[in-house]
Amino acid sequence: MPRSQRKTPVIIGVGDVVNRSKKVQDAIEPLQLMIQAIQKAIQDTGLAASSLAEVQRSIDSISVVSTWTWPADYPNLIAERLAFKPLHSEYTIHGGNQPAKLVDEAARRISLGENKIAVVTGGEALASLTACAAAKKMPPPGWTPPSQDVQSVFSPTTRDLVKSEKDPGAQHDCGNPIQLYPFYENSFRFHRGQSIRDNHQESAKLYADFAKVAEKNENAWTYPSPAKTETDIARVDKNNRMICFPYPLLMNAFNTVNCSAAVILTSADHARELGISSDKWIYPLGGAGTSDSSEFWLRPEYYWSPCISRSLDAALDITSVSKEEIDLYDIYSCFPIVPKLAAHHLGLPLTGGKKSLTLLGGLTSFGGAGNNYSMHAITEMTRQLRKGKGKTGLVLANGGWVSYQHVLLMSRSPRSDGLPYPDENPLPKLVTDVQVPKIVEKAEGEAIIETYTVQFSRDGKPELGFVIGRLLKTAERFIANHADAQTLAELSSWDVEPIGRRGWVSSGKDGRNLFTFVARPGQQLFKL
């Protein structure tokens, strides 16, 4: 389509739904939560009741973020229930980056004239599903038959790892988000020369600030409960047990929620034809996203993320917006390290700055909302921009284990450069132009710790150590577990930094590498 004929995409309606009840009799399936959110978004256009039905009938694009709760053919089910016939129908793969990616792509289709009215939605009902499973009411009464058998409640933090020689992570029982994000936190801390205790307090302060935001957000799962304080979040006890060092429970995403959100887009021309006031319009300016390797052992470093940095830079570049022009942020925060990496790259203070890093309150206090958290960020950004709280906003949506990113920019005004909506995502699907250390599956010899974490049991005791290290002779990277109780205790220390320390790694009979700080007979450990 010639540039002169390109449409200007606008968001015209947003809706959020929260079902805080955990009672089986109140369980609402994701399908119904999404339909409710879409209906709220249609009403949010501000049109008279007689015109709302026309908007609903005219929807010709439906994009749905994959749900953790209940597998079903949501795009077609939603279209059937709401009686519209989509030209574009999409159900995503898993990933917290998907909400921003879908809105970006829907805006592009609107711009190209491929769709007239697009709906993007997602929803979870993990709290209800958990209640039904506990009551042995599976499948939940009245829910849509699933597209595949559901026997238990899905959790990304406890997914089964298939052990294989091709997966050195699974060989060491390592590969879940609760284990992998701490690798980045610990490495980033060491890279900045920060002590373990100072780092812990920094994370607690950050999440306490986030909790204060969630406390005032009526769509938050925890609303209207009082916000957890910095002391609450920092104190490790039976109510805030350590999960994987250095993150206690209140620094982990809380996924057991029931909530949904929806966004409706059209062109400025069509919004005008429908009679939607321009006060309702929010302009998506463009977006960008890419991924790092899904194999965490193939990352270049653990104190930075190429996909976060490049997605931020490319999104700003393609929209002709400088970081100084961003007034509002919502940066994904399943664990503290994601906003830390993004803020560090953007040169923003973590706490105490003029611009908060969240509009929602983070995945601990607002609620994890599965893959759909950032859809709520986009709906809230729309409301804040409409209210004049800022002119331009940025949403960073993260998925996997610092794996997939998509950044979306939004504004009260059209693009300042006069250019049409970007023709494509400016970034490749995968970052490949970074140097990655050679991986050795069976490691032997003196080694140094690159990063690490320790998984704790439910009674608060260190249970399993995970080390990513380098062989001193070859600089090859390896994954290992702790070899002995003393090494596990030292990895769990709040006072002695394990990163940069030397030890020995050897390959066990079960195929696992084992790392120790304890010198063996005939071995002499070098001192730093």
Same domain, 406 and 450: no
Same domain, 398 and 455: no
Strands (E), 75-182: 88-91, 117-125
Here the CATH number for the domain that contains residue 459 is 2.40.50.840
What pLDDT shows up at residue 521? 46
At 75, give phi and psi (nearest 5°). Answer: -55, -45
On whether residue 234 sits in a domain, the answer given is no
Q: What is the mean pLDDT of residues 374-381?
A: 99
Same domain, 92 and 138: yes
Same domain, 308 and 262: yes
Structure tokens at 427: 């970034």
Same domain, 453 and 396: no
On whether residue 451 sits in a domain, the answer given is yes
pLDDT in tens, 359-377: 999 999 999 989 999 999 9
Continuous segment of H or E residues that includes residue 171: helix 168-171
Compute the distance between CA of residue 226 and CA of residue 478 in angstroms, rounded to an integer: 44
- Say yes or no to pLDDT of 162 above 90: no
- Comparing CA positions, the residue from 190, 186, 214, 168 lying closest to residue 369 is 214
Q: Is there a contact between 138 and 150 (Cβ–Cβ < 8 Å)?
A: yes
On whether residue 59 sits in a domain, the answer given is yes
What pLDDT shows up at residue 201? 99
Same domain, 504 and 397: no
Give the list of residues 6+ apart from residue 412 with CB closer than 8 angstroms, or none: 282, 283, 385, 386, 388, 391, 392
Same domain, 375 and 496: no
At 243, give phi and psi (nearest 5°). Answer: -95, -70
Here the CATH number for the domain that contains residue 282 is 3.40.47.10
For residues 166, 170, 172 and 178, what is the CA-based torsion angle, rounded to 10 degrees? 140
What pLDDT shows up at residue 527? 39
On whether residue 315 sits in a domain, the answer given is yes
Same domain, 130 and 262: yes
Whose structure tokens read 């890093």? Answer: 357
- Say yes or no to pLDDT of 161 above 70: no
On whether residue 403 sits in a domain, the answer given is yes
Same domain, 365 and 261: yes
On whether residue 291 sits in a domain, the answer given is yes
- Say yes or no to pLDDT of 94 above 60: yes
What pLDDT shows up at residue 526? 40
Same domain, 136 and 261: yes
Same domain, 11 and 135: yes
What pLDDT shows up at residue 525? 43
Q: What is the mean pLDDT of residues 419-438?
A: 98
| Residue with more model confidence, 448 or 2 | 448
What pLDDT shows up at residue 524? 45
Same domain, 450 and 348: no
Number of domains in the chain: 2
What pLDDT shows up at residue 522? 45
User: Which amino acid is located at 370 in the chain?
Assistant: G
On whether residue 300 sits in a domain, the answer given is yes
Structure tokens at 152: 């238990």
On whether residue 264 sits in a domain, the answer given is yes
What pLDDT shows up at residue 163? 56
Domain with 488 in it: 445-516
- Say yes or no to pLDDT of 528 above 80: no
pLDDT in tens, 29-61: 999 999 999 999 999 999 999 899 999 999 999
